[in-house]
Structure 1
Amino acid sequence: MKLSSLVGSTISGLLLVLVLALMAVEALPPSPASSESKSALSVSTPVAMASAAVSDTGLENESDNTPIRGANIGGVFLIEPFIKPSLFDQFLSRDKADIPVDEWTFSAALGKVEAKRQLEEHWDTFVTRDHLETMAESGVNWIRIPIGYWAFNLTDDEPYVDGQLPYIQRVLEWSRDIGLKVELDLHGAPGSQNGYDNSGRRGVPEWLHSRINVDRTLDALTKMTKIAVEWSDVVYGIQILNEPSRWKWEVKDIFAFYNEAYDLVRSIAPDVWFMIHDTFLSPNEWPTLVAPRWTQALMDTHIYQMFDNYMVTMNETTHIDMVAKMAEDVTKFDKSNIGVVVGEFSAATHDCTKYINGLGRGSRWEGTLEGVADHPLCPFATCSCTGDYGSNYTEYSEHYKSFLRSYIDAQLAIYDQELAGWFFWNFRTEGAPEWDYILGVEQGWIPSFPRTAMPKIEESSVVVFDDAQTTHATTSNAGESQYQFIKSTRGIAVNLGMAVAIAYSMLLPF
């Protein structure tokens, strides 16, 4: 046998072994994260896939498996007392019955001229380009902008004032420049869809009692969707209505509105993400809110642990454990139906925050919440809204700040890696530290993400946050070891293959 034939046979055998080795490596079972989760390691989120289809968003180095990482621009174009108490504290010298508690009564108390003057100053200053840039630097890639219907559809007999649209468009311009995607959220409907101050009008909701209210809601939604079309390179999602109350309305009637709104939005913007709220139903009931014919749809759920008499009495460990329990059915729905976005969550586990339950209503923590708690509800022998549970974050203990970080980490481990993404509530506040995203990042209990997508499996299996000594593991230890083995074996195989190929080519006749 000639030497070249012998070498050729040997190399052919080596190549066969190499191929078999690579096949064996590829056949290894996937790590737990890549087989079970919708993490950025292996599965593209619905929103991420849409992002990949549009190349002019301005976001740098984002791939098709970057989840929504967002913050709400709440309390700006629909004011809430707890976000900016100073707007409402100007009335505290009045009799209790005359103190405004929402935007409706705020505007009525001041009159349209003065209300517009104060609100224009608020719109102009409370959210700035610097705020958006700061959040983008920490890894935020989306913002959610809550808007009241009166920005689009206002009657003379309503005390609200309009004029928000130029300021909203300015935020869209900033977002375009910075590279942020935007969800426009109809946060308040005519008659109020839930009776909360976050709808613009606290009290008895009247929204679905009148077809006129529904038609006005759809009119506002039409105008909001047209903005999405005009700013199609910036606005990627439309939330048709925030938190309509299942306790007030029949679920079938809410679904009927959702279906009607879907047809309207799709007639104007065929490709924008159509986002609905879960109406406070449990996840196993969410399919009743979704039509199979819908495309590009996402479920918005809001997950909090302080608006419940039992949860505010839980200790810190239980709060962290509760995160996974509350999200278990949510992730199941996300995997079996439309994707899920946690549109609101925070670092708070108590209701001490000023006006968080509504202006003048007190707290469960100290037993002063009217009609709910006649004695303190907290995990301690005595309850006080001071120190760790007060409004001055400089008084927080190191232990409490460590807990806040662990609590946020527990939430993001699921919302960021198992679901389509998240929006923290809120981007900033006037004196509610656990609800303030920018402050939380600055103080270290909210992690910064890299500006790019989460690392893929061939790059890294953990994400290290710049502002912490800990890491978010995206696979188990076993998965990490397996990944490292696969990576090493692939490297050896590739290098061996190159060497064999070079040697073989040297023996070939030319």
Structure 2
Amino acid sequence: MAPRESPRPRKRHRHHNDKRRSQGGTPRRSRHEATSSHTESQALSADSLAKLNQLNQRERTKPQEVTPKKTRRKREREVVDEQIVVERSRKQHKRKKRRVVSGALLEEGNGEKLRGLRGGARSEEQYQEGESRKKKFWIIGVVALVVLIIIIVVAVVVSKKKSGGSSNSSSNSTSEAGKPSNSNLNGIDESSIPAGAKGTDLDPFSWYDTTDFNVTYTNETVGDLPIMGLNSTWDDSTTANPNVPAIGSAWGSYEDRPARGVNIGGWLSLEPFITPSLFSGGIVDEYTLTQSLGTNAKATLEKHYATFVSEQTFKDIADAGLDHVRIPFSYWAVVTYDGDPYVYRTSWRYLLRGIEWARKYGLRINLDVHGLPGSQNGWNHSGRLGPIGWLNGTDGTLNAQRSLDLHDRLSKFFAQDRYKNIIAFYGLCNEPKMTALNTTDVLDWTTSAFTTVRNNGIDAYVVFGDGFMGLANWQGKLQGNSGLILDVHQYVIFNADQIAYNHSKKVTYVCSDTGGGWIQQSEQSMNVATGFGPTIFAEWSQADTDCAPNLNNVGAGTRWEGDYDIGDSSTTVSSPDCPTKNSQCSCDSANGDPSTYSDTYKQFLQMFAEAQMASFEKGWGWFYWTWVTEDATQWSYQLGMAAGILPKKAYAPDFNCSSTVPSFSGLPETY
């Protein structure tokens, strides 16, 4: 801030002159414009002039008593001087009553001193008053300065204490709106971080959010993966709800007590329809997102990791009557390769914290590797939309080995004692697109990966995807591997025939144990004579349309309205696939605010969800896709509960396929 200039007394008089001009009067001259006592004598009062006249008259009428010229002049000067003193005192008193303080030198006594210096003598009383005020001013100023210095010193000390004496650390700043306070960094000396680790993912002062992390620096690893942020102890005594055992107790048979879980999709592996706010301007997947963000990618994604999911997420999941959580993550949580734009290993720390939060609320974990090197399906949720480069193409063999190396490291880490109870399912590969890949290559890779993780000490059930081959086609394949579990994802909306089912038939189809219905499929898959054997259903939703924006890829359109196009002529849909098969098919209602849903539509959505729960519990259980979305209600368990279209407790549904399915008459089949 520039120094404030001392006020100029003339400015005030110019102001009054301007006022007089505006009123039509003659400008008043400042007292500083008077140049001599003679000039001031021209402004003498009538009384003074009268005295002078009387004096002169006496001199004229008494010529015999002529007063010496010198004496007369002396008397004239005395009268004039007397009047000047009176006039100055009057003006000074008038100014004192009307003065406006507007600056440092006009403050209290200093203003009077300034006028005294420029305007003539003051009385002793006025001078003492000014000096007293000046003294008070300086006392107040000194006290204020001391208080300010104390405040600054305290702030600097606190800041240095938080940053270990460094002034360039901003990791625990609260000035940024919404940024975590990171108060657990208090008392941590930043100089304890080795020079080579500063600013890396091992440096807690570089973390956006340190809540519930152990911020004591360590470079210790297990399976060549860091244990950063983990506390040395854990507690497995919590249970998710009264119907399931505590984490530290054996679950028992999943066939008798199926899992009721939910995915936390779109968190550590991004999807455009879950967080559309991150995808715009040609961004179609995490690859193009991080590529576009460049050096800002880490900050953007870590803020997402820290805010999209919190401890409250896991508490709410348990409160919903759920008992398992499937956490998708991708290979860049562990490693990146030349040319990868992905954010390296930041999501690893959040994965570890998420598992600990799940433990706190008694929730068991299904670990899911959602994206493998090269992309196992070419879809956006694998990280990169486009050609499949896993077990396929120029680098197919290289990416196959990279994926095995990934599981070698992951399985060594998660074989630690702290994970033996909480990790119930260990996933090898999410949705390998076996309709495009060589089946034998996928089976061989799966066998190698299973052997690797078992040899490294993983006791959890090992999960592999059905590859969209159909459950009946898995009979006789990969059997004999103890603890290997088949994972199938059931949706009616991605099938051209099933999306056209009306509301009643959708529920009936899910509940049917004949004609290829989902209960029949579950039971056949569970039987090793007709299917693979142990089967879980790790993805499904209550959505009865594919209307959610970006669900089929950014800007890909929908089957429901008949404008689905992902650049593959074999899958393009150019006419509406909703039950009426005409222009009345609309996504407006399905994508509308749930407060606009009719009671009948809400009844259908909840019954459709509960029918699927009943069907999947014929196997080893289910995991809803997904817990939270930004606005796609029919894909969010959290939003669905808030909208009243899911049971209040997952273990207490209102419908279980044993009741008659209504016709839902009056509910339009166009949404």
TM-score normalised by structure 2 residue count: 0.57
Deviation at 1:298, TM superposition (A): 1.3
Hey, what does 1:373 align to over in structure 2?
A: 573
Deviation at 1:448, TM superposition (A): 3.5
Distance in 1 of aligned mates of 2:358 and 2:616 = 23
Hey, what does 1:329 align to over in structure 2?
A: 521
Hey, what does 1:123 align to over in structure 2?
A: 305
Hey, what does 1:241 align to over in structure 2?
A: 429
1:172–1:201 Cα change, 3 Å: same
Which SS does the other structure have where 1:208 is aligned? Answer: coil
One of 605, 610, 613 as aligned partner of 1:412? 613
Hey, what does 2:325 align to over in structure 1?
A: 143
Deviation at 1:239, TM superposition (A): 0.6
Distance in 2 of aligned mates of 1:393 and 1:226 = 45
Given that residues 537 and 621 in structure 2 are in contact (C-alpha distance below 8 angstroms), is that contact kept between their aligned partners in structure 1? yes
Amino acid at match of 1:194: N
The number of residue pairs the alignment matches comes to 394
Deviation at 1:57, TM superposition (A): 5.6
Distance in 2 of aligned mates of 1:85 and 1:76 = 12
Deviation at 1:287, TM superposition (A): 2.6
Hey, what does 1:312 align to over in structure 2?
A: 499
Hey, what does 1:429 align to over in structure 2?
A: 629
Amino acid at match of 2:265: G
One of 339, 350, 361 as aligned partner of 1:157? 339
Q: Could you give the per-residue CA deviations for residues 461-505 of structure 1, whole angstroms, max 9, x where no partner exists?
A: xxx54xxxx4548899xxxxxxxxxxxxxxxxxxxxxxxxxxxxx
Deviation at 1:234, TM superposition (A): 1.8
**1:340 pairs with 2:535:** yes
1:244–1:409 Cα change, 3 Å: same
1:201–1:473 Cα change, 3 Å: closer
Q: After TM superposition, where is structure 1 displaced by more than 3 Å over at least 4 residues in a row?
A: 470-476
Given that residues 297 and 338 in structure 1 are in contact (C-alpha distance below 8 angstroms), is that contact kept between their aligned partners in structure 2? no
**1:228 pairs with 2:228:** no
Please identify, of 306-315 and 255-264, the stretch whose mean Cα deviation from structure 2 is larger: 306-315
Distance in 2 of aligned mates of 1:66 and 1:281 = 27
Distance in 2 of aligned mates of 1:322 and 1:364 = 20
Hey, what does 2:587 align to over in structure 1?
A: 385
Amino acid at match of 1:251: T
Deviation at 1:110, TM superposition (A): 1.2
Question: What does 1:177-192 correspond to in 2, within 5 Å?
Answer: 177-192=360-375
Distance in 2 of aligned mates of 1:130 and 1:136 = 10
- CA-based RMSD of the aligned residues comes to 2.0
Distance in 2 of aligned mates of 1:305 and 1:236 = 28
1:329–1:312 Cα change, 3 Å: closer
**1:204 pairs with 2:384:** no
Hey, what does 2:266 align to over in structure 1?
A: 75
One of 455, 473, 490 as aligned partner of 1:267? 455
**1:175 pairs with 2:377:** no
Distance in 2 of aligned mates of 1:311 and 1:446 = 22
One of 296, 301, 305 as aligned partner of 1:114? 296
Hey, what does 1:251 align to over in structure 2?
A: 439
Amino acid at match of 1:154: T
Q: Could you give the per-residue CA deviations for residues 72-102 of structure 1, whole angstroms, max 9, x where no partner exists?
A: 011111100001000013x2xxxxxxx1110
Given that residues 57 and 233 in structure 1 are in contact (C-alpha distance below 8 angstroms), is that contact kept between their aligned partners in structure 2? no
Deviation at 1:204, TM superposition (A): 1.0
- Identity percentage of aligned residues: 32
Hey, what does 1:40 align to over in structure 2?
A: none
Distance in 2 of aligned mates of 1:199 and 1:391 = 28
Distance in 2 of aligned mates of 1:115 and 1:206 = 24
One of 400, 405, 409 as aligned partner of 1:219? 405
Please identify, of 307-316 and 175-184, the stretch whose mean Cα deviation from structure 2 is larger: 307-316
Distance in 2 of aligned mates of 1:57 and 1:87 = 38
Q: Please, which runs of 5 or more residues in structure 1 have no aligned partner?
A: 1-54, 92-98, 455-463, 477-510
Hey, what does 1:33 align to over in structure 2?
A: none
Question: What does 1:19-98 correspond to in 2, within 5 Å?
Answer: 56=236, 58-59=238-239, 61=242, 62=244, 64=252, 65-89=256-280, 91=281
Which SS does the other structure have where 1:352 is aligned? Answer: coil
1:261–1:67 Cα change, 3 Å: same
Distance in 1 of aligned mates of 2:257 and 2:357 = 21
Amino acid at match of 2:320: S
Given that residues 365 and 424 in structure 2 are in contact (C-alpha distance below 8 angstroms), is that contact kept between their aligned partners in structure 1? yes
Deviation at 1:258, TM superposition (A): 0.7
Distance in 2 of aligned mates of 1:159 and 1:391 = 36
Deviation at 1:212, TM superposition (A): 1.3
Which SS does the other structure have where 1:164 is aligned? Answer: helix
Q: Could you give the per-residue CA deviations for residues 154-196 of structure 1, whole angstroms, max 9, x where no partner exists?
A: 0132111121111111101101111110011111111111111
Hey, what does 1:43 align to over in structure 2?
A: none
Amino acid at match of 1:82: F
Distance in 2 of aligned mates of 1:132 and 1:229 = 23
Amino acid at match of 1:315: N
Q: Could you give the per-residue CA deviations for residues 127-162 of structure 1, whole angstroms, max 9, x where no partner exists?
A: 111111111011111101111111112013211112
Given that residues 56 and 233 in structure 1 are in contact (C-alpha distance below 8 angstroms), is that contact kept between their aligned partners in structure 2? yes
Given that residues 129 and 174 in structure 1 are in contact (C-alpha distance below 8 angstroms), is that contact kept between their aligned partners in structure 2? yes
Q: Could you give the per-residue CA deviations for residues 202-228 of structure 1, whole angstroms, max 9, x where no partner exists?
A: 111111032210111112222322342
Deviation at 1:312, TM superposition (A): 2.0
Which has the greater radius of gyration?
2
Q: Please, which runs of 5 or more residues in structure 2 have no aligned partner?
A: 1-234, 246-251, 661-671
Which SS does the other structure have where 1:159 is aligned? Answer: coil
Hey, what does 2:90 align to over in structure 1?
A: none
Given that residues 522 and 615 in structure 2 are in contact (C-alpha distance below 8 angstroms), is that contact kept between their aligned partners in structure 1? no
Question: What does 1:268-307 correspond to in 2, within 5 Å?
Answer: 268-292=456-480, 294-307=481-494
Distance in 2 of aligned mates of 1:140 and 1:228 = 23
Distance in 1 of aligned mates of 2:275 and 2:460 = 31
Hey, what does 2:218 align to over in structure 1?
A: none
1:448–1:67 Cα change, 3 Å: farther
1:235–1:270 Cα change, 3 Å: closer
Please identify, of 116-125 and 224-233, the stretch whose mean Cα deviation from structure 2 is larger: 224-233
Which SS does the other structure have where 2:607 is aligned? Answer: helix
Deviation at 1:443, TM superposition (A): 2.3
Amino acid at match of 1:318: K
Amino acid at match of 2:447: N
Amino acid at match of 1:175: A
Amino acid at match of 1:75: G
Distance in 2 of aligned mates of 1:446 and 1:233 = 29
1:136–1:360 Cα change, 3 Å: same
Which SS does the other structure have where 2:527 is aligned? Answer: helix
1:67–1:266 Cα change, 3 Å: same
Hey, what does 2:645 align to over in structure 1?
A: 445
Distance in 2 of aligned mates of 1:118 and 1:142 = 29
Given that residues 262 and 324 in structure 2 are in contact (C-alpha distance below 8 angstroms), is that contact kept between their aligned partners in structure 1? yes
Distance in 2 of aligned mates of 1:327 and 1:475 = 15
Distance in 2 of aligned mates of 1:281 and 1:472 = 28
Given that residues 353 and 391 in structure 1 are in contact (C-alpha distance below 8 angstroms), is that contact kept between their aligned partners in structure 2? no
Which SS does the other structure have where 2:257 is aligned? Answer: coil
1:239–1:391 Cα change, 3 Å: farther
Distance in 2 of aligned mates of 1:351 and 1:475 = 27
